[in-house]
Structure 1
């Protein structure tokens, strides 16, 4: 999967999602393959994006739509969406990875930040409350 949209001719990291075969109900890779299979009939017209609209004409969805979907899941999970946003998941995931010993270089690459980027250290490398 491509991580994010960037300027032309910029390096695009590739996200490899491993299978968690021991616990398929929580396996992200299996869920993505199922989603791709279920949407294959309508996907031809949507281009290369992973997420497409669930209503005709099944176009690629915008980052705002994905953000709304994440916010809906957070809210239905009982999370206060006045306090936490879709972007909060970026902070939580990168901070949790760092807390579990994932190297800063791996976090930067996976998040789509350059090796020179100070974004993680400045904004994300903070304790999770």
Structure 2
């Protein structure tokens, strides 16, 4: 982050007016050193994994999203696995809750431990600096 902010601040302080800084930035856009690719995230309130598992599986492959977040998965969440995905589950404080995050196996991901109820935090590696 500092590598990107310091040159901006140096440009800011080296120009005499705000208008000259803005003109310079508009006329000479900074080339991006990294290529940014969008990351699609699919979210869906399942309202019971047991009765809707096949529907959910169909949606996973139709939307072609590498990250899926499912809520209200209830207790039967583990009865059906999505192929080519790693799943991270957190039980709920109520009977109809529970959250699953599925990450495509082509991405490296690890769960971040948290004491927050009804919450799953997953770190997807190598997406940014």
Q: TM-score, normalised by structure 1?
A: 0.24
> Between Structure 1 and Structure 2, which shows a larger proportion of strand residues?
2
Query: Which protein has the larger Cα radius of gyration, Structure 1 or Structure 2?
Result: 2
